[in-house]
Amino acid sequence: MASQINVGMDLGSYKTAVMTSEGRRAVMPTVVGHPKDGIARRLLKTDTVFGDAAIYNRHSLEIIRPLAFGRLKFVPSDVLDTHEQDVARIQLESLEKIVEHAFSLVGVQRGTAAAAMIGVPAVASSESKDLIVQVAEKVCHSVMVVSEPFAVAYGLDCLHNSLVIDIGAGTTDICALTGVFPPPEHQQTLTMGGDAIDAELFKLLLAQYPTAICSPEMLRNLKERHGSLAEGISQVELTVVIEGKPIILNVAQQLRQACQSLVEPVFNGITKCLSIWDSETQDRLLRNVILAGGGSRMGGLDGVLERRLQDYYGLARVSCVDDPVFSGAAGALKLAMEMPSEHWTMVRKAA
């Protein structure tokens, strides 16, 4: 299979990163948009807009984030609620378009001899995993899925005595690595992440400025640029509209409080993940806690979590991956490239 292209994909709830064995890489928001009416269609000259372009033109589009809550909506075929069936169908069709577009960004088209390893939330339902495989198989001839934190750990060669926390937009995945492929009981998925921080920031702003108008995209960009738990940040400016007039607000306090809202849920998730282990194994895992995903870029999060864990367990060492955007995709690609060719052959035959 010398001509096979291997692909690693981190299919995130807000961003999708993809890399190939030929050295190509790309990242895009996991978003697709369709024109709202004929005027929008004429203006945009297309029926489908992806990623950053969809967000930029959001007022002209019906925006869909099929993985907004970390998993596809799955409705069994015997359910009679046609609205639920329609929602599930639209999500699946949208994800199919996004995945195919993400592959195309790195030169992988339908008919390409490609084998893809795709990172998904740690405890994604079997139905969601099956749907993702079905979607990707329309482009690649062999597809496997793997949990996102495991992909990160594989890329870092940290498959033994490490605890990986992958903080995405819709979910936070926690995975204990003990030298084996982690079963479900070694993993936790929290249904909160960057989106929850954005929502909390918006709530805090409205509590003080009830008539303020600000888009979710502005809050997300503000958080990504300035989100921090570090002490001493006294000025973070945000322009909102109040009574029709742009007003510059200092939201440093609200932003820090919103970022702080992630700490306790993640800490509780870690304690739950560690609760099945003896004290010796807990000590080993706590000595190598790794933060990954977009949320790992939050300033001071590693130090705050480290101190919180030290207060509770007596020791902990928390670090962040060097490349939060591509660490999951890089690990998935490494796994795809090191997968024996006969395994990919078995996958193709089983498809």
> Which pLDDT value is given to residue 19?
98
Q: In a 10 Å sphere around its CB, with 0-12 CB exposed, 13-18 middle and 19+ buried, how is residue 276 labelled?
A: exposed
Taking each continuous run of H as one helix and of E as one strand, the counts in the chain are 13, 15
The mean pLDDT value for 3-32 works out to 94
pLDDT at 268: 96
pLDDT tens, position by position, 75-102: 455 555 677 777 778 888 999 999 999 9
CATH T-level topology, domain 194-260: Nucleotidyltransferase; domain 5 (3.30.420)
Tell me: the pLDDT tens digits for 296-311? 999 999 999 999 999 9
For range 53-58, the mean pLDDT: 95
- Residue 216 — very low, low, confident or very high, per pLDDT cuts 50/70/90? very high
Phi/psi of residue 240, each to 5°?
Answer: -120, 170
Nearest to 172 by CA among 191, 187, 159: 191
> What is the average pLDDT value for the chain, to the nearest integer?
90
pLDDT at 100: 95
* pLDDT at 68 (0 to 100): 79
Instruction: Confirm or reject CATH 3.40.1350.10 for domain 5-152+326-350, answering yes or no.
Output: no
Q: What is the pLDDT of residue 85?
A: 75
Residue 136 has pLDDT above 70, yes or no: yes
Average pLDDT score over residue span 143-168: 95
Q: What is the mean pLDDT of residues 236-250?
A: 96
Distance CA 291, CA 317 (A): 11
Percent of the chain with pLDDT over 90: 77
Structural domain spans, the chain: 5-152+326-350, 194-260
pLDDT band at 71 (very low <50, low <70, confident <90, very high): low
Asked if the domains at 5-152+326-350 and 194-260 fall in one CATH topology, the answer is yes
Residue 345 has what pLDDT?
63
Residue showing tokens 């890489």: 25
Higher local confidence (pLDDT), 339 or 2: 339
| pLDDT band of 70, cuts 50, 70, 90 | low
Question: Coil, strand or helix: which one is 81?
Answer: coil
Q: What is the mean pLDDT of residues 169-177?
A: 93
pLDDT at 1: 43
Please report the pLDDT score of residue 341 as a whole number: 75
* Residue 346: band (very low, low, confident or very high) from pLDDT cuts 50, 70, 90: low
Q: Say if residue 350's pLDDT is above 90.
A: no
pLDDT score, position 205: 96
pLDDT, one tens digit per residue, over 319-345 is 999 999 999 999 999 999 998 877 776
pTM score = 0.90
Q: Which residues neighbour 201 within 8 Å (Cβ) at sequence distance 6 or greater?
A: 219, 222, 223, 251, 254, 255, 258
CB 8 within 8 A of CB 151: yes
